[in-house]
Amino acid sequence: MNYVSTRGGIAPIPFQEAVMMGLARDGGLLLPESFPDVRDKLAGWAKLPYEDLAFEVVRLFADDIPADDLRAIVRKSYATFSPVPPAPDQAWTGPEVAPVRPVGPVHVLELFHGPTLAFKDFALQFLGNLFEYVLGEGGRELNVVVATSGDTGSAAIHGLRGRRGVRVFVLHPAGRVSPVQELQMTSVLDDNVFNIALAGTFDDAQRIVKGLFSDLPFKDGHHLGAVNSINWARVLAQVIYYFYGAFRTMERTGAKEVSFVVPTGNFGDVFAGYVAARMGLPVRRLRLATNENDILSRFFASGVYSLGKVVPTLSPSMDIQIASNFERWLFLHAGRDAAQVRAWMDAFAKNGSLEVPRAADGSLDATLCAGRADTAATLETIRRFHADFGYLMDPHTAVGVSVALASGDADGGAPVVCLSTAHPAKFPDAIGRATGDASLATEPRVEALKGAPTRKFPLPNDLRAVADFVAART
């Protein structure tokens, strides 16, 4: 399996090289040359434990890693999760790292049982082990630079802390992540971890990271690596739980297909579901859900991808206007026409907007659609599901569930699986506003962080300042 750039400027490369390259050297994003058709494998995969399913999916894309080595990487990656007993009404009897809970009209795929209580752990525990494997014993080093809107940073730190030959530089928007998210990052004092509090938004942080990677002499000279979802391995690791969630839901309901609703800001998580559908997973509909920062939901309603102003919300991991993974969808939508993608991205860089022609029936994509939930709807969803079903959800998950209900996806047809992307204990302020009791949002690992010593490095919103900081420590 070889990988190509969405902008067509590099020769095809194998998996391990794609992992280490992160952002393609021509400024594009890497994708496999084709997606494998796994429809004939679904029945055999349906009963596999998560770890075994992960191996089967990843091996299709990572054929330059020997099978025994890949099994060891996968096994180590999910050993850090807290296995959850299956629900009593489910035939599946093994412990789960990604349980599916039937809650009222929806099925909730819980992706917060990893070490930092967020879905990013699924990819970043895997990627940390993958980096260590590729670097090997040869004395090579990697300096990971990552932008975060909240959860990616802590998951990256916990996936890379103490790793041989790896340093990690995390840029978070100062004052724009939840207190728990900040504490999860800044309380890690390992020598190879550097937390940068950037005076700007997540989009500013992401722009700076892309700027560092686009400066090829700097990237090469300082051995930069990426763990943001610009790295294909991040997306690949997230593809797995779409298969797992669909299998568990179809097993419980007897359905032949499912729909997913995905809270998203950077388009990486929902794109992983899009890949799963391309591979043959029976997905009726894949609906992305945004908060007030709705560039993606506006696009799928209008065909115009146009910048707006970033608005701080209760779901800060989605407070994004420039969705980096959107370029991957554009590439597939254009029939892998890299020249067309370059033209679109040049227009966006120049004008802050781009427009994609619709099909004859007026649609943009037969599988993918979108919806939006504002703060009031988010709070009401948290309140209602806690009151009616005794289920507490974080505000990002509530955005997804709210969109599922408003769209009618949950009213019949295929069962609807809503991705729950973070533990509610990470957002006690939102839980307090919704329910009147912030103390409901507790979790022992979060409580243990309170009062811990912290370390962070405030920097201005300036590419040169960040480059100098990285250079001085590598």
Write out the catalytic residue numbers: 120
Q: Across the strands, what pairs with 288? A: 262, 370
Of the candidates 99, 90, 49, 416, the residue with the CA atom closest to the CA atom of residue 252: 90
Q: Which amino acid is at 174?
A: A
In the structure encoding, which two tokens stand for residue 210, read together?
Answer: 């892309």
Of the candidates 376, 453, 417, 396, the residue with the CA atom closest to the CA atom of residue 150: 396
Distance CA 89, CA 254 (A): 13
Query: Is residue 21 within 8 Å of residue 81, measured between CB atoms?
Result: no
Distance CA 310, CA 56 (A): 39
**Residue 129: count of CB within 10 angstroms of its CB:** 21
CB neighbour burial string for 15-41, b if at least 16 within 10 angstroms, e if fewer: beebbbbbbbbebbbbbbeebeebeeb
In the structure encoding, which two tokens stand for residue 95, read together?
Answer: 């412990």
What is the DSSP secondary structure assignment for residue 425, as one 8-state letter? G
Of the candidates 133, 174, 181, the residue with the CA atom closest to the CA atom of residue 155: 181
DSSP 3-state assignment of 123?
A: helix
DSSP 3-state assignment of 337?
A: coil
Q: Which amino acid is at 172?
A: H
Distance CA 126, CA 249 (A): 25
